[in-house]
Structure 1
Amino acid sequence: MRFFHLKKINRFYFMAIMCIACLLTDQVTAQVVAPAKQTATDPYYTAYDNSTLTRSELPVLMPHNRIIRPAGTVLRYGDLNLENHSLDLKRIPGTTLLAVEDRYGIAVVDYQQRKITASWSFTGSAYKGFMSTYSGIEVLRSGNNTRIFWSAAQSGGERQSVVFEAAWNGNDLKITDTIRFTAVAPAPLALPNEVAVHNEGGTPYLYVVLNGNNTLEKINLNTKQRVWSASTGVAPYGITVVNSRIYVSNWGGTLPNAGATAETAGVPYGKMFIDPVTGAASGGSVSVFDTKGALIKEVPAGLHPNDLVASPDGQFVYVANGNSDDITVINTNTLSVAATILVKIDGHTSGFIGDSPNALDVSPDGKTLYVANGMDNALAVINLGKGSGHVKGYIPTESYPGGVRIIDSQLVVTNLEGEGSRISSKEITKQDKETGAYPGAAYNSHYEKATLSFIPVPDDQKLQQYTADVKKLMLLFRTELSRLNPRKGQPARPMPERIGEPSVFKHVLYVIKENRTYDQVLGDLSKGNGAKALCLYGDSVTPNQHKLAADYVLLDNYHASGKCSAEGHQWTDAAMVTDYIEKNVRAWFRSYPHVQTDAMVYNQKGFIWNNAADHGKKVRIYGETAMPDMDKKLTWTDIYAKYKKGEPLQFKNVTTISRVRPWLSPNYPASDELKITDQYRADAFIRELKEYEAMPGDSLPELMVMALSTDHTVGTRPGMPTPRAMVADNDLALGRIIEALSKSRFWKNTVVFVTEDDSQAGWDHVSAYRTTGFVVSPYTHTGKTISVNYNQTSMVRSIEQILGIPPMNLLDATARPMFECFTSTPNPALFVARTNRVPLDEMNKPLAALKGNALNFAIQSMRKEYDHVDGGNDDILNRILWFASKGNQRYPAHLAGKQVKDDDD
């Protein structure tokens, strides 16, 4: 299929596009993929479209249109049984060593030999359950004594907040002291983050921001006593000391006072000012204090100001604004904003957002600023002038650079996402110890290595080459395709060739389910690339999803873009995640935002519903971004009995986003309450559908976003249905919804996209990110298997392309629309839902009837955190689901590592 009338495209433009595509194919992805199955006549095409994510050798592909081929040398490290993330780093003065902070502890790295010299981990110590916070590590060297300070916290359990002090003696790391902080309401966690050591009159003082308490603390390091505490803005993040003034970046901006009239929203730890259109933070700030704790001034900054660094001469402080893709330059003499430097790689005046600057360092001569652009997988190189600057070029890193230091003409970078979750089961444990039920390699999203990049500072010629590489690795050429003007006289197509050209579809239903891998559900489907041994919920449990895959299109190379629901619902709804999400990954200190009740989660452009409404489309939201307020005493059995009797369920959906409230269906229970059968949700949608049918004309909303979540399950908790019954409940609801649509008068111009929010709840033999996805319409009723490499950003981009609305950011702008799923000839045959083969009220057994593993897993399933989607430890839940499905068949521990005690996720 040709998606563009190429002869109508400007010849020069087309040649430029094809040149970029060919270079990308030949130089970057040739090692990543199998031979291409089609020629590059489609302007969107790259060879990676035919690849999987299985590859573990560089270059590798991430599940959001990014190829990783970093400059320099990469060091990989970490316990293979964990999801490792490197966070920040600091040089140990007078040595060739670096202190590196990672999620599970610290390491000492020789930056000349590029190897780990020593490491210390929370997991093997008395501090198990702690994780390092977002960033910030400090080194104090006096004579032969080296002291290392960094912040950590427990997001579960006792919820402690600690600055750790470690001693480095040249051979070993040892914890010598801890400084503890108490939460101040409404914060449940004091949450220390960046730290700075400052010598004042011969006495060393430690300054630390408490991200939860909204304070700056001063600690005397000789006595370990607090000197003072001062109020900051919302969620203080970074800190630097310049000319005896302390600069603190406020991630959430100015703290609202009691008389504030501008709109505010919750950030689980209080309130912050928001943009009422998107719900995102409306501003950021930097608080400036003197050494006595007095606030001198609060300086405005961009959105989500995080890391900051001073110029060598102390005249300027540079602030990275993670949600506005720029750098605020503060003049330290006047405490005013001297300039704002854009770091956007998409250089248009209306360039797409999504670069996410989140870490900084300045060259010793003060002429160059290095900025870690997280979502670009690159360092932006800024040529500094007097109080201003401009981007000189970009340097490719691994995924999501989160810390950077320039040392001896070498850049050292901590890569928060590294190479992603691609540790195979064969790496986790030795096969001769525990082979498990599946002999091949398999993948789970919570196992990855931490990485560091060592990059020689490039000259101008090398930087020019690197810049071209970064743009190729980002597939940046696709942003130009998204800007092409629609052509007149084009016929309506299922997937328009250009945004703004007509589609046969007027309505999109976008369904978001919970936490399954492809192999867990469709691994038993012979026509797809499945592993039957890893299938827990095959045709006998999910007959409707199997029918959709058989009758419409089977997507066996479709991927979630994140690793868990807190990331997943941002990828599904916004096609990107903010710096706030990335900095919280795996730890989730402030919130677990699978339901978007934390305003710090939102990017400055908002979500797909904002995008649709802003372009004149009618929006309806079914259960997404909301929580149901209902009688908590009701049990699953009570609610199901009401459903069987035809009685209504009393509830009220609650959301923190004011603009969403009028769009939110009051009849459809929000998805976070797993005690509610999905049949109530299906009924609510079908009733509304019939109401729209009864209206004159076509009043059905153009965009409908639906959360359908009981396939998450609550394990083997007594009083709740079995895992397979909950998955079957979800499957039946989906089947009924699609049947109702197919029988409606809207079917001829409606398309349904279905995705899981993430793939964390199991194993897959192709990729940790592979999940189920469905595209259902008369124009996808082909029975074909589509093995094109698609992901959640592809699905979002496809919805935008159909509705004629532009991409929201760099991630959906570089996504490939799902052209291959559609045919030009419709098949209007109805979809008839299959009845469930597992009773929906098949209940877990009571504790008294259980023993051994069954009893243990039932007790674990009863923990309060499992009341909600992703509330508890996912490794434990995975084991519970395996046991519930496979019984005493050996759990594939080589796929998941050693069992750990449960804690809050």
Structure 2
Amino acid sequence: MPRPLPLILCAIALVAACRPSTRESTATVDTGPRRLPTGARLDPAGTVVDVGPMPLGMVPTPEGDRVVLLLGGWRQQGVQVVDRATGAVVQTLDQPAAFVGVAFSPDGGTLYASGGNGDVVYRYRWADRSATLVDSLVLATKAPRANGTRYPAGVAVSPDGRTLYVAENLADSLAVVDVASGRVTQRLATERYPYAVAAAPDGTVYVSAWGGNTVSVFTPDAGGLRDAGRLAVARHPSALLLNARGTRLFVASGSTDRVAVVDTRARRVVATLQDPPPSGPGEGSTPNALALAPDGARLYVAEADANAVAVFDLAAATADVPNATGADRLAGRIPTGWYPCAVLASREALLVASGKGRGTAPNPDGPQPILSREHQGSPANTTLRQIGGTVQIVPLGDAAELARLTARVVAANGWDESRVPSAESRRSYPRIEHVVYVVKENRTYDQVLGDLTQADGDTSLLYFPRSVSPNHHALAERFGIYDRFFVNAEVSPDGHNWSMAAYATDYLEKTVPSNYSGRGRTYDYEGTNRNRVPDDDAAEPASGYLWNLAEKKGIAFRNYGEFVVPDDADRAGPMPSGYKGNKPFLARHTHATFPGFDLTIPDQRRADLWIAELQEFVRQGQMPALEIVRLPNDHTAGARRGSPTPAAYMADNDLALGRMIEALSRTPFWRSTVVFVLEDDAQNGPDHVDSHRSPLLIVSPWARPGVHHRWANTTDVLRTIEEILGLASMSQFDHYGRPLRDVWTDKPDLRPYTVLTPSVPLTERNTAMGPDARASAHLALDFEDQADEDTFNRILWRAAKGQDVPYPGARRLTGLELKRGGY
């Protein structure tokens, strides 16, 4: 008979309570550029001040001494007014939702701000250098708790101030709104996911298509606008910028690192500004916001993933400025905060708004009460809640100063050409011919391996000790303990993209905070858009995924559960009849019955399927060079009644992994194989070093045992896989990665691995009633990470530790780690 939940995990609580922490948490003042989980360091120029999270838009006020930010973060969305000289926040106006679009009327008396999931545009009166909410312009009527169907993004106002133009991001249309009546008078079709709107002095309106390749052009007509066709620019265009006379339109394409320049009179692209990192694939800078110098001859481009602003000196024909003397080339870069999303330029200074600001930081004093979605403004310790933005004021200097700033950007990003892979790179590895890449769900290092006394763990944060995860512990001890491994990602949408593509697009980065905070949108981040498989995936990186590298190389590849959709989506059945990859090449190489994320299916089923096919490979004498395997059940279902307990879920996950390694170790392929095991993200738990620190297992006869303190992250693992298999790179992050060339031994340990059985029965179920069981019943667990992060974490904590152990504040990178530096 199943035991009540507190007794089920009694052993876990006792183990954690009886063991001292192997390292106390530390935090000191930063003494130098801090490292992000992406591997880059932050070294912003000028004066940096804190603002709200994810400022996606920024416009100058009519007086010119202030700017208005539009916040699109997890914990807060709305409008902030910032003093332009000092960066001080002088006014904050929260909105239920906001997204990208903010603009003033030509007379300066009205401020319009997108209402995102509310399907409205908020209208503020601007007077005495501050904003006062007047009303909202309704794009669609919806029930109070329903999600938006229009989702206003970019906004622009007609030159006479009578008309508001709104990009309806989820409706693939431009709404034309009569300001006086507040009515939508026209809707005109665009390509998918319209993003920005620009209104020219002659009344022409331009709309970019985040999910397409064009800018839609609409010209004035009797009673409104008419469709004047589309301009092909570049893949997934986002930010738009018109010069003062409206003769040039600049169009950013984030995932191709390009800015197209359009002659609006001739309606053609007259120049393309190339904006990639110094070498490697043309993906990884992510240009996503634009500003012109007052003379129109210099363009500033916010590079979200380079944490910089690129400076382009334009040619006369490109700028449509007769005395411009540039050559349309990158003149230099200016270092910013993490993920710059908006930029403004004056003669004296740049103003830069960075979405993720100062990066991760320690937070030992997280809140104790359970937070619900109604308390999104409260401080908390989950990753998306903690992200805050910054505004940066950078005085503009001469060419020598720009050169010095450029050198800082290069150093901060680790754009070291000596790290670029070469023909010699593969010689650093043993004779490995097969890579198995296993991706799991959401655990921190301390949750799973915090009781390994050889390394830097904190047992007070342990969820799943050796008794629950014996194979994780034994594999780490035999093949290497990595206590300075960090996932690049914050949550699963970027987690699976970082894990498969070494990159996350601006579409993903800018929409996830809204999706995760219950402000609408669908989960568009693993091959589907709007719950369908699209022809052109808005979240797909231009360089593709790891399997595309395998396709280009011509090596054998097999996929087990990653980026799949069920053939039979009937959730009432015991299991869908089959699965297919949702990308063309992936579909041809995906195991048809291996499940994706589905907590109703044990990981033992996944292990059975993988092992059965492994035995078939043995019979054939051939094993694919690259395999991707998804083992998701360490995600758990919290305290949901009737579901396996968190310990049982983890035991299932642990046993499945152990069985797979045992089976592999008894085949002829063992000598020539390495298995990399990591989490897609580490959002669901605390860690005393950093919330992004996570378990990494490198399992191979060639893996060197012991404790490895060297710094590494997800994209470093990808760089390692690429070098072993002779593959190209996908973005700047794996191209300039820190491959694990130094963790191998000269003499292989060919002993087979013997699987260990967890002490927790896999059949244990949650039976207890109470607040946690009731809360778990309402958690959205059909897809990964749809549940409220903080609530889920606290349920897990109490399940593992009991009701009387205080929930810890999750911590970020410590002063010790900053001092140590790492690789």
Preserved contact between residue 627 and residue 673 of structure 1 (Cα < 8 Å): no
Partner residue in 1 for 2:483:
556
Which letter maps to 1:657?
K
Determine which of 691, 713, 727 is the counterpart of 2:636: 713
Residue 246 (structure 1) aligned with residue 205 (structure 2) = yes
Corresponding position: 1:152 with 2:115? yes
Alignment partner of 1:596 is 2:527: yes
Cα deviation for residue 532 of structure 1 reads 0.8
CA 731–236 in structure 1, closer or farther in 2 if over 3 Å, else same: same
Contact 1:528 1:556 in 2 (8 A): yes
1:665 is aligned to 2:591: yes
Counterparts in 2 of 1:675 and 1:427: CA distance versus 1, 3 Å:
closer
Q: Distance in 1 between matches of 2:426 and 2:358?
A: 34
Greater relative contact order (CA < 8 Å, ≥ 6 in sequence): 2
Q: Once the two structures are superposed, what CA deviation does each residue of 1:563-596 show, in whole Å capped at 9, x if it has no partner?
A: 0000000010011111111211311354324533
Q: Is contact 1:70–1:397 with CA below 8 Å preserved after alignment?
A: yes
Aligned to 2:389: 450
Residue aligning to 1:675: 600
- Equivalent residue, structure 2, for 1:353: 283
The 8 Å contact of residues 422 and 448 in structure 1, kept in 2 or not, is answered as: no
Q: Identify the residue that residue 64 of structure 1 maps to in structure 2.
A: 38
Q: How does 1:101-120 map to 2 (within 5 A)?
A: 101-103=70-72, 104-120=77-93
Counterparts of 1:551 and 1:470, CA distance in 2: 40
Which one of 113, 125, 140 corresponds to residue 167 of structure 1?
125
Find the partner of 1:758 among 674, 681, 691: 681
Give CA deviations for 1:666-703 in whole Å, capped at 9, x if unaligned.
Answer: 13222x211000000000000000000011x4x20000
CA distance in 2, matches of 1:628, 1:879: 31
Offset, 1:867? 2.3
- Cα distance between partner residues in 2 of 1:286 and 1:576: 28
> How far, CA to CA, are the matches of 1:744 and 1:509 in structure 2?
14
- Establish whether residue 295 from structure 1 lines up as the match of residue 227 from structure 2: yes
Distance in 2 between residues matched to 1:53 and 1:238, nearest whole Å: 41
2:787 corresponds, among 865, 869, 872, to 872
- The residue identity in structure 2 corresponding to 1:754 is V
Distance 2:668 2:218 in 1: 62
Q: 1:174 to 1:838 in 2, by over 3 A?
A: farther
- Structure 2: runs of 5+ lacking an equivalent: 1-25, 319-327, 370-379, 530-536, 813-823
Question: Pairwise mapping of residues 433-472 of structure 1 onto structure 2 (< 5 A)?
Answer: 444=383, 446-472=385-411
CA distance in 2, matches of 1:796, 1:325: 21
Using the alignment, how far apart are the partners of 1:446 and 1:378 within structure 2?
24
Per-residue CA distance 1:494-515 (angstroms, 9 max, x = gap)? x7347xxx74100000000000
3-state DSSP class of the match of 1:665? Answer: coil
Q: Is the contact between residue 442 and residue 764 of structure 1 (CA under 8 Å) also seen in structure 2? A: no
One-letter identity of the residue aligned with 1:542: S
Matches within 5 A, 1:298-377: 298-346=230-278, 351-377=281-307
String of CA shifts for 1:717-764, please: whole Å, max 9, x gaps.
122111111111111111111111111110000000000000000111
Report 1:66-215 matches (<5 A): 66-78=40-52, 84-103=53-72, 104-122=77-95, 127=96, 130=97, 132-133=98-99, 135-140=100-105, 142=107, 146-154=109-117, 160-170=118-128, 173-182=131-140, 189-200=149-160, 203-215=161-173
Q: What is the 5 A alignment of 1:379-528?
A: 379-388=309-318, 389-426=328-365, 444=383, 446-478=385-417, 481-486=419-424, 496-497=426-427, 503-528=430-455
Could you tell me which amino acid in structure 1 is paired with residue 582 of structure 2?
A: T
Measured in 1, the distance between the counterparts of 2:636 and 2:29 equals 31
- Residue 746 (structure 2) pairs with residue 824 (structure 1): yes
Would the alpha carbon gap of residues 247 and 445 (structure 1) be closer, same or farther in structure 2, given more than 3 Å must change?
closer
| Preserved contact between residue 380 and residue 394 of structure 1 (Cα < 8 Å) | yes
Deviation at 1:205, TM superposition (A): 1.6
Aligned pair count?
Answer: 747
SS state at 2:791 partner: helix
Q: CA RMSD in A?
A: 2.5
TM-score (norm 2): 0.87
Give 3-state SS (helix, strand or coil) of 2:266's partner: coil
1:224 aligns with 2:182: yes
CA contact (8 A) 1:86 1:102 kept: yes
| Partner Cα distance (1:555, 1:167) in 2 | 56
- The runs of at least 4 aligned residues of structure 1 exceeding 6 Å deviation read 52-55, 427-430
Per the alignment, do residues 732 and 183 of structure 1 end up closer, same or farther by CA in structure 2, a change over 3 Å counting?
farther
Q: TM-score, normalised by structure 1?
A: 0.79
Which residue of 1 is the match for residue 726 of structure 2? 804
Please list, as runs of the form range in 1=range in 2, the aligned pairs for 1:266-277 lying within 5 A after superposition. none
CA–CA distance in 2 between the matches of 1:368 and 1:633?
Answer: 56
Q: Label 1:619 to 1:113 Cα distance change in 2 as closer, same or farther (>3 A).
A: same
| Alpha-carbon distance in 2 for matches of 1:794, 1:617 | 21
CA contact 1:249–1:305 (8 Å) conserved in 2: yes
**What displacement does 1:219 show?**
1.2
Q: CA deviation at 1:113?
A: 2.1
Matching residue's letter, 2:493: A
CA–CA separation in structure 2 for the residues paired with 1:193 and 1:896:
34
- How far the C-alpha of 1:248 sits from its partner, in A, is 0.6
Unaligned residue ranges in structure 1 (runs of 5+)? 1-51, 79-83, 155-159, 254-282, 431-440, 487-494, 640-648, 898-905
Contact 2:116 2:153 in 1 (8 A): no
Whether 1:684 aligns to 2:609 is: yes
For the residue of structure 2 that corresponds to 1:820, the secondary structure is coil
In 1, Cα distance between equivalents of 2:696 and 2:190? 45
Instruction: Measure, in 1, the Cα distance between the counterparts of 2:381 and 2:522.
Output: 30
Are the structure 2 counterparts of residues 547 and 625 from structure 1 closer, same or farther at C-alpha, using a change threshold of 3 Å? same
Query: Residue 439 of structure 2 contacts residue 632 of structure 2 at CA under 8 Å; is this kept in 1?
Result: yes
The percentage of aligned residue pairs carrying the same residue is 32
User: What is the rounded CA distance, in whole Å, between the counterparts of 2:777 and 2:342 in structure 1?
Assistant: 40
Change (3 A) 1:617 1:311: same
Residues 1:444 and 1:224: Cα distance change in structure 2 (over 3 Å)? closer
Does the 8 A contact of 1:189 with 1:212 survive in 2? yes
SS at the partner of 2:508?
helix
Match of 1:654 in 2: 580
- Letter matched to residue 677 of structure 1: P
